Amino acid sequence: MNVTVKYFAVCHEMLDRSEEEMELPEGATVKTILQRLEEEWPEIAEFYEVMQMSVNWEYATENTELAEGDEVALIPPVTGGCDV
Amino acid sequence: MFKITTDVITGAEVREAVEGPDAGAVVLFFGTVRNNTDGRPVNCLEYEAYPPMAEKKMSEIAQEISDKWGLDRVAMVHRVGRLEIGEVSVAVAVASPHRKDGFEACKYAMDRLKQIVPIWKREIWADGEAEWVKPDAVYFDTLKPRKTDPQTD
């Protein structure tokens, strides 16, 4: 199956791309994507404690199962608004 | 109104989005770009968002406010792109029959925005360096519950 993976902020910068299509085996989960990214960017594991993932605009966990056409995103710690 | 925009945010648009004859108060909050962070001069800020998810999360915050205070007229707008010192980056408006609930709900909306709405800020320092801002302390309040029970958010 194919899914779209989006990268924002520090992830966009580190991976040098804002999104890509990924071909995954049936039964793949969010973790499958993280493991694949770890091969390219080993330091990403250090972000896992504070980083979240989303599937189709909803927060997800590593165990969330994926389906054809899903939109997955790596969500670094959010910092919108202002510091007050 | 829940919106990510590249346009200048005006007080009139967010107020008009919530006002009505049953409101005894309209609380408006604007977040603006400050010229320093902990004393270090800032040249400007750059904001990036994941717009469809950000707008969905804003509407969920409004639903939480409806559940907690019974207030159904909330607006949230966040600007993205490069913002200069003094410009409005975020606006929240809440209409309520009485001011106490309006103030509380407005504060709640901003706290939740900083926890769950996917928007990121990059500081461009006056000396030319730039870096992604580390999260506000309120952000971490939501992390642990979500990891053990993803259904709660």
**What CATH number has the domain bearing residue A70?**
3.10.20.30
Q: Are strands B40-49 and B25-32 parallel, antiparallel or unpaired?
A: unpaired
Contact A81 B53 (CB under 8 A): no
Q: pLDDT tens, B47-82?
A: 999 999 999 999 999 999 999 999 999 999 999 999
Residue A7 lies in a domain: yes
CA distance A50 to B86: 30
The answer to the question of residue A41 being in a domain is yes
Put simply, whether B120 touches A (Cβ < 8 Å) is: yes
Domain ranges across chain B: 2-152
Please answer yes or no on whether A77 and B139 come within 8 Å at the CB atom.
Answer: yes
Q: How far is CA B20 from CA B23, B59, B61, B77, B97, in A?
A: 6, 19, 20, 19, 10
Select from B78, B114, B115, B141 the residue whose CB has the most chain A CBs within 10 Å, as the one to mutate to test that interface: B114
What digits encode the pLDDT tens for the residues A15-73? 899 999 999 999 999 999 999 998 888 887 777 778 899 999 999 999 999 999 999 99
Structure-block tokens of residue A41 = 């960017």
**How many Å apart are CA B138 and CA B15, to the nearest integer?**
26
pLDDT at B139 over 50: yes
A78/B119 CB distance under 8 A: yes
SS3 state at A45 = helix
Helix B99-116, helix B137-148: angle, nearest 10: 70
Q: Which domain holds residue A56?
A: 2-75
**B134 or B9: whose pLDDT is higher?**
B9
Q: Which site among B32, B37, B44, B53 would you substitute to test the A interface, given the most A Cβ atoms closer than 10 Å to its Cβ?
A: B53
Q: What DSSP string describes B87-145?
A: -EEEEEEEEESSHHHHHHHHHHHHHHHHHHS-EEEEEEETTS-EEEPPPPHHHHHHHHH
The total number of structural domains in chain A stands at 1
Mutate to test the interface with B, among A56, A74, A79, A84 (most CBs of B within 10 A): A79
For B2-152, which CATH superfamily applies? Molybdopterin biosynthesis MoaE subunit (3.90.1170.40)
**Cβ count within 10 A of residue B113:** 23
First to last CA, chain B: 21
**Side chain identity at B147, as an amino acid letter?**
K
Q: Could A50 and B143 be called an inter-chain contact, meaning their C-beta atoms sit closer than 8 Å?
A: yes
**Looking at the domain assignment, is residue A84 inside a domain?**
no
B129 touching chain A per CB within 8 A: no
Query: pLDDT confidence of A83, banded at 50, 70, 90?
Result: low
Collect all residues with Cβ–Cβ distance below 8 Å to B144 and sequence separation of at least 6: none
- Report if residue A81 sits inside a domain: no
- Evaluate the CA torsion angle B31, A55, A37, B50 in order and state its sign: negative
Interval B107-118: pLDDT, tens: 999 999 999 999
- Min mean pLDDT across A2-11, A74-83, B8-17 is at A74-83
* Cβ partners under 8 Å of residue B62, min gap 6: B2, B72, B74, B76, B109
Q: Does A79 touch chain B (CB under 8 A)?
A: yes
